[in-house]
Amino acid sequence: MEQRMHNLRHQLEESIAAIRTRSAHAPSVGIVLGTGLDRLAQRCSVETSIPYADIPHMPRSTAPSHRGHLLLGSWSGVPVAIMQGRVHYYEGYTMQEVTYGVRLLKALGVRVLVLTNAAGALNPLFRRGDIMLIADHINLMGTSPLIGPNDDLLGERFPDMSDPYSAELRDRARQVALEQRIPLREGVLVAVHGPNLETRAEYRFLRTIGADAVGMSTVPEVIAAVHAKLPIVAFSILTDECFPDALHPVSAAEIIAAAEEASPKLEQLISALLPVL
């Protein structure tokens, strides 16, 4: 098992070496684009686009709307590395594979991580199309990317999770949203492994335990980022209303369409936020 952790460092070195044959770009901010949020990449002045398939050991995205490219360039004058799509636990990947992209961004030299996703609204005050600033999370995925032997060169054995979503960065996000006149919700994300959506009873349970939104990603990446000491700011586009007493069936296509519809607001918010991160 110790060999596995050594292998992870070796894999990251090979991934970085392959990227460096294509670009010497030095990003300061890493961005992960979630379901239906592909268009956000249009705001990036791309210097280099590398398919995940061309990066050794990088898992391939198979979920709808996740293109699977690493984009290196600048956004609002800030050097960035953008993961145009992520991989999910429900795709059959291990937790270590799910979080490989975050490890790679850290190895590329990013100092701040911006995460985005599509999620279902549980808070009855929230609506489809809202942007939610993630303040905290509940991990119901049944596992963690840190299970197994620890590599002290990647992070400490027992990372503190009292402030996983940087309070300072959340303050900046709120201020930018106010200045840009972008309505911004704030709440707790609960992560489930999927891929099935939840039952009415499950939605009631998730709301009862304090969740404002539910999704199938992001939390493993946050755990890995905290382990790597990367400050995080994260946003959910609320794509459907998961209210058990007024629940309507929803399809993946409808979720993607809702995220795409709301993405201009998130694009505006991130564009204004990047220079002050």
- pLDDT at residue 5 greater than cutoff 60: no
- Structural domain boundaries enclosing 62: 2-276
Calculate the average pLDDT of the chain: 95
Other CB atoms within a 10 A radius of the CB of residue 182 amount to 15
Residues 99, 103: Cα–Cα separation, whole Å: 7
Other CB atoms within a 10 A radius of the CB of residue 130 amount to 21
Residues 139, 118: Cα–Cα separation, whole Å: 16
Of 104-113, 130-139, 224-233, 257-266, which gets the smallest average pLDDT?
257-266
Query: Do the beta carbons of residue 28 and residue 77 sit within 8 Å?
Result: no
Query: Do the beta carbons of residue 86 and residue 221 sit within 8 Å?
Result: yes
Residues 190-218, mean pLDDT to the nearest whole number? 98
The per-residue pLDDT for range 79-92, each reduced to its tens digit, is 999 999 999 999 99
Question: What's residue 64's pLDDT?
Answer: 72
Residues 217, 197: Cα–Cα separation, whole Å: 13
Residues 171, 63: Cα–Cα separation, whole Å: 32
Question: What's residue 6's pLDDT?
Answer: 62
Question: What's residue 38's pLDDT?
Answer: 82
Report the CATH number at residue 150.
3.40.50.1580
Residues 272, 214: Cα–Cα separation, whole Å: 26
Question: What's residue 4's pLDDT?
Answer: 55
pTM (2 d.p.)? 0.95
The per-residue pLDDT for range 115-151, each reduced to its tens digit, is 999 999 999 999 999 999 999 999 999 999 999 999 9
Q: What percent of the chain has pLDDT over 90?
A: 90
Q: How many domains does the chain have?
A: 1
- pLDDT at residue 65 greater than cutoff 80: no
